Structure 1
């Protein structure tokens, strides 16, 4: 199945001079508008993925297609002075693929968000770690409604929109399954579960169905403890040591933090005032175990008010308030474009995507990652002989080695409490090829 996914991605990928690997640790901003002329609300505009380094220096801009090329469609987006929900980008669970929804429409097309989906297909762009763009997924979904976001996991794609709710399709698909009619905004897959933000009734940050649903009749359920008021847009979770247990949300005017405690999400404060208008956020753990956050604020979705990018480092830890932290501006839009959403840059896909059946991978997994005391290493042991697990530091020095009969069981629990905080590499030997995963030690 994974080999089929890769083949589909390669077969319908738009070749361009921007196809070079993203740099891990950089972040990606969805920008609407070329910057050359004023933006007109409701009209389809050209879209770019801007790659920035952590200092806020623009590395490059990757254009989304504005002309049909074989199976690949156009992808354009409008701006609106009243709606800030379109153009939300996501990262796949394994961190290798970006997904972005838009419209198969020429730039300048008017009222594109309310167009019928027979006239204007709703398109999903899938972008790999080499910045290759696949826009072959084109749906007759969300007719008369906006497509807001998309996320990919394996060959499955989930999209969100207005009263169209949440849809399911597959890579390269032209048909869809409507999972729910409840309006949704940003969508993410975390630990094998589909999540979405919403403002329908009392829904705000929700689980959609169970796991990765692909059939009709799904329900959206609020995360326990999260307020049932507000206007959440983009969000992300990090692992502070016991699973994905810290949540950051761009909730209209503020950045908000929650920690999972006793099965319920507890508020850890907010950053921002009415004029800040936070509507997009991303971030990741650094080698010290702190959370580096990038966010978009002060975005009125209009000419001369396209937003700015801020960063801050949350070193307060799990279940501690971050309200006293002060964001730092690192980039601003120009007068004729709009910053819409933000995400960490994708990294190379798992080697299993490149393997054939003769080189069946062991599917190495680390749980949790990041880890404080112990990490559970799981893998398929069918193709292993004389297996060993080696943990090395960034200098290549071996800090732990595990061998023997325990490895043959397909899982081993490793005590890492004695290791210093930082990044390590866990390598499983004994298959056709060694497999390595990066481990963050808290």
Structure 2
């Protein structure tokens, strides 16, 4: 694939052990009001594809391009030809890509965040845009550009490299009109390259911050109205690009981060987790990350957020039984990548009456094996006739489910 070419986009849900729970494809064809949403791979721009979780924890938002996979230099195409799209994804996996903007013409679209019906979108020029779900119009609310967007505590925040802006509050609250100002959060760096960030309520408001900045993962605490540095994790070659997490009842913070991301196939990053038990306004530089999703040749990880609440409910308990189920099923695909056929093996003891479904990037079922055709924890799937690309093999008995990606050559 050529650099800058539009590519299919997937929202992959992992449990806390790094097992793939499911993958939600973004549309690659127009269906009613829903448009396409693709993104390019470019080693010169790491700032497209930021995903965000709504403040109420019910929805995800993502920005991209209404373009076919393979569209050349898609970020540089005029927005009159290729609209800049917003996907809003519910906890049940429903995808709404009806929000289309004629903004960021000839420039990258980077991020979106949703709160109720309101949506804020950032890109490579023209500032931050405000729109509403399903709209094709927008209001430019700032002149300065932005990267990742977050709504926390009823306030819109944005990372940026416009002028001296780095991590900013945008206007007051959730602004929807033109002429808003961006103000750096006091005490934070005004140089360097910030990426995704996480603001945590550790007991007295939005008072702990984790930020992927200049290839490191940094922590700050709000004290006396100023953000105080609590140290950093990593070295320059770690290339931290994204971070998410949650505050736990015992006072610790569980973090998940993407690092070692060169935004290229074969160097698309890995996912690590760490638990910050140092507490508010204490140094965390000695905390050691643990790898849970290794790099591979087929994924480029762009951004990471916690799954919506409803999604967590639909997968029963992502911190307990789902982890055990995914491990105990031992789903394996061999070979992977495959050309003519793939052998599926799994632990039949823990799933005696399974079915197997293969879906394509658009979520369409392309192969299906009923329980009667699966013998002794093994089945062979004929791949002949399938176009080259990424597919998903799902093992399901109506109570338990696990999914793995499959590359067809």
Task: Bin the TM-score by the shorter chain.
Answer: 0.7 to 0.9
Deviation of 1:336 after TM superposition, in Å, equals 2.7
1:200 aligns with 2:162: yes
Q: CA RMSD in A?
A: 1.0
**What do the CA deviations read for 1:353-407 (whole angstroms, capped 9, x no partner)?**
xxxxxxxxxxxxxxxxxxxxxxxxxxxxxxxxxxxxxxxxxxxxxxxxxxxxxxx
CA distance in 2, matches of 1:270, 1:139: 38
Among candidates 198, 205, 221, match of residue 243 of structure 1: 205
CA distance in 2, matches of 1:336, 1:240: 37
CA distance 1:46–1:323, shift in 2 (3 Å): same
Deviation of 1:40 after TM superposition, in Å, equals 2.7
Among candidates 183, 188, 198, match of residue 150 of structure 2: 188
Ranges in structure 2 where 5+ consecutive residues have no aligned partner: 312-409
Where 2:209 maps in the other structure, the secondary structure is strand
CA distance in 2, matches of 1:348, 1:339: 23
TM-score normalised by structure 2 residue count? 0.75
The aligned residue for residue 155 of structure 1 is 117
1:315 aligns with 2:277: yes
**What do the CA deviations read for 1:188-207 (whole angstroms, capped 9, x no partner)?**
11111110000111110001
Paired residues of 1:296 and 1:309 also in contact (CA < 8 A): yes
1:171 aligns with 2:171: no
Higher RCO (Cα < 8 Å, 6 or more apart): 1
Paired residues of 1:145 and 1:164 also in contact (CA < 8 A): no
**What do the CA deviations read for 1:188-240 (whole angstroms, capped 9, x no partner)?**
11111110000111110001111111111111110011111121110111111
The aligned residue for residue 281 of structure 1 is 243
Ranges in structure 1 where 5+ consecutive residues have no aligned partner: 1-38, 350-442
Deviation of 1:333 after TM superposition, in Å, equals 3.3
The aligned runs of 1:67-78 (5 Å cut-off) are 67-78=29-40
The aligned runs of 1:23-422 (5 Å cut-off) are 39-348=1-310
CA distance in 2, matches of 1:317, 1:326: 15
CA distance in 2, matches of 1:287, 1:328: 22
TM-score normalised by structure 1 residue count? 0.69
Deviation of 1:101 after TM superposition, in Å, equals 0.2
Q: How many residues align?
A: 311
Where 1:340 maps in the other structure, the secondary structure is coil
Would you identify which runs of 4 or more consecutive aligned residues in structure 1 move more than 4 Å? none
